[in-house]
Structure 1
Amino acid sequence: MAPYDDTTAATRFDSFNVYETHFKQIGDHKIKVAILVPKDLKPGKVPLAVKFHGGGLVVGDALFPDWIAAFWVPFMHRNNAITILPNYRLVPESSGADILEDLADFWSWFNDKGVDKYLTSQNVNVDLDYKHLLVSGDSAGGYMALQSGLTRPEGEINAILAQYPMTNHTRRSPEDSMLGMQTPSREWMDEKLASLLTPGAITSSAHPYKTDRFGLSMALNAYGRYNEFFGEGERLWPITAVKSVKFVPPTTIFHALGDSAVKFQDSVDFVERTKSVVPGVEIRLAYGKEGDHGFDGALKEDEEPWLKEELQWVESRWLF
């Protein structure tokens, strides 16, 4: 195994050439997409992986390394794959409908050879293999990955790897903690909203450690205001959107029993509903053991037999 397993968050991108462009522009606001090209990329057809970032649809950025699990780095190198990481608009400045619009626009850009065109402009010549496409994401990124699978044509996506995905809106009380953090006060939330909700405001990138939007995500859910901004409707959440589809790509879900951010039961419910409405679907709930949200961030494939098995399963659907 190549020495990429023990990559830390601080050096997670060191073995890649990192490129940034945008797939969409709203007025003067550009929505970023990043591209990770392995420095040891080999000649020939190059499979593709699209990876969406987490953050409760309120916070996050495509190139925030802490939310890209360590196992992802050797996984991409081993398969000689390029990773495409899109941003998207965030709540509360934008709605769930806006986010799904960004998702559709990203896929239009992607299928219009946006990656090829940009890399060619940077004198990077690669033979991208659109017939071998993996879509992944953690938490809110898992939401985006699953929504991709539910909205894209059959055969476009070969496999989905969703880590503790948001399949439903988060239900919590003000007394609940998340990853050891306490919910901010209602007064704090109201002041934060007043500072953000200015006419025409758009946010599509928010560093988790340099902003306090994490607290806002917790508060919006705890005080019952998340859906006020995100919106309501069956298509907005995978748990209800799946009822109207006839196909779901082969999917594996990682989720820990003790997840304090996204309920483990939500993944159980999504898997059961998907199996009930899509006969013969390949969908797995691969991890239901100890741990909290983000439990897999530092995991190494060779130290976790279940992870090794699941990544081999993903490869078998993605690449063959």
Structure 2
Amino acid sequence: MSTPNRPIAHGAPSVAPVPFDPELLPALEALAASPQPGLSRATLAAMREPGAGPAFSSGAELVAGRPVTAEELLIPGPEGAPDLEITVFAPADRGPSPLPVLVNFHGGGMIVGHRSWEHGRVVDLVERHGVVGVNVEYRLAPEHPYPAGAEDNYAATRWVSEHAAELGADPDRLIVMGGSAGGGFAAAVSLMARDRGGPAIAGQLLLCPMLDNTNSTVSSLQYDGIGTWARDANLLAWECVLGEELAYSPEAPAYAAPARAADLSGLPPAFIEVGAAEMFRDEDVDYARRIWETGGQAELHVWSGGCHGFDMYMPDTEISRAALASRDSWISRVLSGGGDA
């Protein structure tokens, strides 16, 4: 497949980036100095190999010594598609009442990544909020382009809702969530559930979500070659997911790129978080604005100086602690029936 003509935001050759939070700079400089090759078609397979990136623990290893259990399950995928692997985390002392449930989709641009990358995030939420946490494995592009990933994640969410009793979960208190590509999938699953009449979703937790395939915003160009997820990687991801014709097209399907949805009414309450110093800033702010325009519920946090995924790369910084506290507050409010968080 030939490389499509890649878009330039507003036709401008360059736009000065927003400065990073000073506390993030040492980690960003260390990442920039890493000898690892950048993400490209040539390196994609190697970057998926075990040991190619940071080592992540299995669910069982991660919960050792913590009051959380981990169970690996194989559940049905979409009709005619392979089964799906999920990891289910739950409080060890869960009591008799059904617990709220969080369904997480991992990041990686829809082209790399594994659920183990985010086991830690899910286990922390299970421990702090006393919920069931489900971490989903889905098919990756380009081997499995759209709609494979979106349909896998929708099928997993529907299965969790329909089998909530087996999981000790309450299907009426189900939140979908994810970071980056996972946030885009959480937004897509929310649209699919609305359009298909279920399952019921109580909230969508969208962390620096990947929503807009056109790559036409100012922030998209500001982070051309800069930060933890740069413009070239994002362009490659959309080419892999949507193919040459639709890679940057405003006609792309909304379940692939939720920014393409014509109607954002009737969606579950959204929490949208993004850094001011990353390429997804403008598309995420616009998504919140469009939800508000319908009378919908969205809480938006734009963290000054935040890079993409700052809480994962720099968890011990003040900005990360503040972001985690805001998420926890929203989760608590949604699960207690507090409405717009």
Instruction: Give me the TM-score of the superposition, normalised by structure 2.
Output: 0.65
1:69-89 CA-partner distances (Å, limit 9, x unpaired) = 4xx544322322110111111
Q: CA deviation at 1:165?
A: 0.3
1:31 equivalent to 2:47? Answer no
Q: CA deviation at 1:250?
A: 1.0
1:228 equivalent to 2:272? Answer no
Q: CA deviation at 1:13?
A: 3.5
Question: What amino acid is the match of 2:102?
Answer: A
Q: CA deviation at 1:264?
A: 0.8
What residue in structure 2 maps to residue 134 of structure 1?
175
**Residue among 128, 144, 149 paired with 1:94:** 144
Mapping 1:21-60, distance limit 5 Å = 21-24=73-76, 29-60=82-113
1:255 equivalent to 2:274? Answer yes
- Where structure 2 has 5 or more consecutive residues not aligned to the other structure, the ranges are 1-54
Equivalents in 2 of 1:48, 1:103: separation in Å? Answer: 15
What residue in structure 1 maps to residue 224 of structure 2?
176
Question: What amino acid is the match of 2:236?
Answer: L
Return the structure number with greater relative CO, CA threshold 8 A, min gap 6: 1
Equivalents in 2 of 1:142, 1:181: separation in Å? Answer: 14
Q: What SS does the aligned partner of 2:306 have?
A: coil
Q: CA deviation at 1:40?
A: 3.7
Question: What amino acid is the match of 1:80?
Answer: G
In the alignment of these two chains, the number of paired residues is 262
Equivalents in 2 of 1:52, 1:300: separation in Å? Answer: 24
Equivalents in 1 of 2:335, 2:290: separation in Å? Answer: 24
Mapping 1:1-320, distance limit 5 Å = 12-14=62-64, 15=66, 16-24=68-76, 29-65=82-118, 68-69=120-121, 73-113=123-163, 116-117=165-166, 127-153=168-194, 156-169=200-213, 171=215, 176-179=224-227, 217=233, 220=236, 227-228=242-243, 231=246, 233-235=252-254, 236-241=256-261, 243-259=262-278, 262-276=279-293, 278-279=294-295, 281-297=296-312, 298=315, 304-305=321-322, 307-320=324-337
Change (3 A) 1:43 1:84: same
Equivalents in 1 of 2:124, 2:92: separation in Å? Answer: 12
Question: What amino acid is the match of 2:115?
Answer: A
Equivalents in 1 of 2:206, 2:102: separation in Å? Answer: 13
Q: What SS does the aligned partner of 1:64 have?
A: helix
The CA RMSD measured in Å over matched residues stands at 3.5
What residue in structure 2 maps to residue 207 of structure 1?
none
What residue in structure 2 maps to residue 196 of structure 1?
none
Aligned 8 A contact 1:91 1:230 in 2? no
Q: What SS does the aligned partner of 1:311 have?
A: helix
- Where structure 1 has 5 or more consecutive residues not aligned to the other structure, the ranges are 1-7, 120-126, 185-216
Aligned 8 A contact 1:20 1:34 in 2? yes
Q: CA deviation at 1:52?
A: 0.9
Q: CA deviation at 1:23?
A: 2.2
